[in-house]
Amino acid sequence: MICACPQCGARYKVADPPPALFRCQRCSTEIRPNEPAAAPPSSSPPPPATSRSSSTILRSKPVVAPPGPTPSVAIPAATAPAHYLISNRGHLRLPLDRPFLLGRDLDCDLVFEDGRASRRHAQLEWRENRFHLTDLGSANGTWLDSKRIHASALSDGAEFRIGSQPLLYREIRDPQQLVECARTFRQSTHNDSTAVTDLNSLLPKTDFTGNIGTMTPVEVCQLLHLGNRSGRLLILSSDGGRGVIYFQEGRVLAAEYDDLMQGDEAVLKIFRIRSGEFSFQTRFECRQPNVVSTIEHLLLEAARLQDEIPLADFDPRGPTRVIRRQP
């Protein structure tokens, strides 16, 4: 559909049905394609003036658009909001024509320097006029509204978490609204104590037990670390393996696995147990510290090994075999 500016005569190609209102790019005159065009002026000459007080009608030649391609007009912004992902470090506009990848891999669209995140942790994809969040088989999961999810459609204002990073999905029409949303979100996530309180509430204040099928050793250690807990975590795998990790105010002090491994090596071995039971007791104290690395480094190393060693090729009681996946 072709519309012409009533002021300067510039012609525009618009969608069918056309927008209710847009402005001429040449003279900024409002153009209303749905309203009938004004009647053309009479071709007869104006009547002669009868006195000096008679008004004079001034007519100017219409400005003809220069030759060239007909400019197109975008749909007004009010009908097409932009989609943004906001973190406590900034914001990114989400593409509609391809998946948006999140993870530790440098090829991802949003890269995390967090051992709790997998190399390709999750993706956002536009389909059926909505963005969908999908977990890509990550070790520690993708959490939406405090629930671990595999896939879910997002609504405006949805908050989710990857590793220790909170993220906010927004549909924005006004750039000023984006600035205000980003500022408010940064302020709400600036203090990590909120996240620590939420995660710490998942664990009892005293001794507790659980099943590894429900919560992995990595997830239990994360909660003990963020909750500044002290005590002994005992892991019993379904094939008879036994691992112990000692905590003091959230720090890993010592670890052993089957009396054959100690220190960092034992922690990484325990992190790979996939079935069995665990128990945490607060009355135990560390005998002799033997873990050198921080919990953050151990989680990062465990995530790296998780990406490189398929679970089917890993024996938690036997020697570790590093098998790199084919590209």
Give the amino acid at 217: P
Residue partners of 214: CB distance under 8 A and separation at least 6:
none
What does the pLDDT read at residue 112?
84
How far is CA 228 from each of CA 17, 61, 197, 245, rounded to the nearest angstrom? 61, 80, 11, 14
CA nearest to 245, candidates 264, 258, 208, 254: 254
pLDDT in tens, the chain (327 residues): 777 787 777 777 777 777 777 777 777 777 777 766 555 555 555 555 544 443 333 344 444 445 555 544 444 444 578 999 998 877 889 999 999 999 988 888 888 877 788 889 999 999 999 999 999 998 888 999 888 999 999 999 999 999 888 999 999 888 778 888 888 888 777 654 444 444 444 556 678 888 888 788 888 888 888 778 889 999 999 988 999 999 988 889 999 999 889 999 999 999 989 899 999 988 777 778 899 998 888 887 877 776 544 433 333 333 333 323 333
Q: Helix/strand/coil (H, E, C) string of 240-293?
A: CCEEEEEEECCEEEEEEECCCEEHHHHHHHHHCCCCEEEEEECCCCCCCCCCCC
Q: What is the pTM of this model?
A: 0.42
d(CA 210, CA 230): 17
Are the C-beta atoms of 53 and 144 separated by less than 8 Å? no
User: What's phi and psi for 188, nearest 5 deg?
Assistant: -75, -25
CA nearest to 233, candidates 184, 315, 295, 175: 295
DSSP string, 96-114: SSS-EEEESSTTSSEE---
